Amino acid sequence: MKKRLTRRFIINNIEKLELSNPLRYERYYINESIRIQRKNDIYEKETLSNNIVIKKEKIDINEFNNLKKQAISKIIRDSYLYLKDDRVSIKKYYDIYEGLIRVEVKFKDEIEMNQYKKEEWMGEEITDSLLAFDKDVSKLNKDEFLKEINTYTNRKQILDNVEKLIKMHKSGKLGGEVMPEDANPKLRKSSIENYLYFTLPMALNYQRNSYTLWKSALNTFEDIDTKFVFNPKECIKRSFEEVQSALVKYKLALQKQKQTEIWIKLCKTFIELFDGDIRKLFEMYENDVDKIRDYIQKDNKKKFPYLSGNKICNYWLYVIYEYTDTNYKNIEKLTVAPDTHVCKATFKLGLINEEEFNSSNVQLIVIDRWQKLFNDTRYKPIDIHTPLWLWSRNGFKEIE
């Protein structure tokens, strides 16, 4: 099957572009494979296969009008040629699809297509979206179209607000001078004790105040009678009751049965897989975020209770980056940790809608949206995690 050698992008306006005079297209879709169109005074009938025209024939106005009565959808748009690059054309839509302006770039081969760098005035790529082809656009009703196009046209505004939030965070306007994890014993960053300190309590960070959790962790670590729980080899030598007593003494474990079981399970996992030294996981995969995350979330999910969850795993990888000597080789793959605050802030910014916010898959949706939003930008998801968290926690201070 012939592959279409085009890439498509969305833009907001055509005002400053050097363009040819427009050619008006009036298209009507009779069924999945037949459409008719009027280009000024030219009438045509086209046969389609996978959005590619495989047959074209001229028809008269009477046949056009007769077929038009059978149409199931229509498209009205103007087509322009970009005078600075003959590979580029622009389609501007009207009627119920007004607001869509699509840039199409044609290539002679796949090498040229894959190496192409879009021009600065071009917006987000929509080659694989429902807005890429007239046939797919024509199937959208007004609400569906607006939902789809807003995904792309809102991007610039969201990125502007992201930049402002990051600046507000750096200037201290979102608070956060003291973060939850700052409650730590100030161990040597590269030490096994430091890695374990920022790993084991993370599995208990579920629906609770993060500041309280880490304060409890610090108290437990600094007490000579309870510190042993941070040493996996020492921990599994003790009875269940001893471990439980140590974890609840400073309320590090709030669910004394379940969370003690989680803690002991992780200690056994660390001994089984890494001889008690969690640093070996990072060494084994050469600090590759994707490989480390897959090892925990996919390959050995049951051996890492709660730590393998979407929220906790990403947040833990972030904390390890911030508070140990780990330097990830692909830091751009470190996603936001989609806890309640981050999800609320993502919704507040308009990156997800209300239905998505209330979805059971909201964490995965949030991770995916931030990854896609930052494609081809200077930002990484890790850059926005803390500003989002603080913005939500402090009641969504007005963005300035």
Distances (CA, A) of 259 to 53, 256, 263, 319: 62, 6, 6, 21
CA–CA distance, 305 with 264 (Å, rounded to integer) = 10
Mean pLDDT, residues 176-193 taken together: 94
Contact 247, 253 (CB under 8 A): yes
pTM higher than 0.85: no
Distance (Å, whole) CA 260 – CA 266: 10
Give the closest residue to 133 by CA, choosing from 53, 20, 57. 53
CA distance 284 to 270: 14
Indicate the burial class of 241 (C-beta count within 10 angstroms; 0-12, 13-18, 19 or more). Answer: exposed
Least confident of 2-6, 51-55, 191-195: 2-6
Question: How would residue 87 be classed by pLDDT, with cut points 50, 70 and 90?
Answer: very high
Q: Which amino acid is at 143?
A: D
Segment 312-333, tens digit of pLDDT: 999 999 999 999 999 999 988 8
pLDDT at 153 (0 to 100): 74
**Mean pLDDT over residues 346-374, rounded?**
90
pLDDT at 157: 84
Dihedral sign of CA atoms 388, 394, 395, 396 in order: negative
Question: What average pLDDT does the segment 176-180 reach?
Answer: 85
Query: What tokens does 369 get?
Result: 């949206």
Q: What mean pLDDT, rounded, does the chain reach?
A: 93
pLDDT at 154: 76
Residue written as token pair 């656009």:
137
Domains in the chain, please, with CATH? 6-153 (2.40.320.10), 180-393 (no CATH)
Q: Which residues are registered as beta bridge partners of 56?
A: 46
User: Six-digit token pair at 288?
Assistant: 């590759």
Tell me what pLDDT residue 340 has: 92
Is the pLDDT confidence value at 1 over 60? no
Rg (CA), the chain: 28
**Using 50, 70 and 90 to split pLDDT, how confident is the model at 2?**
low
- pLDDT attached to residue 50: 81
E strand spans, the chain: 6-10, 23-29, 34-39, 42-49, 52-58, 73-81, 88-93, 101-106
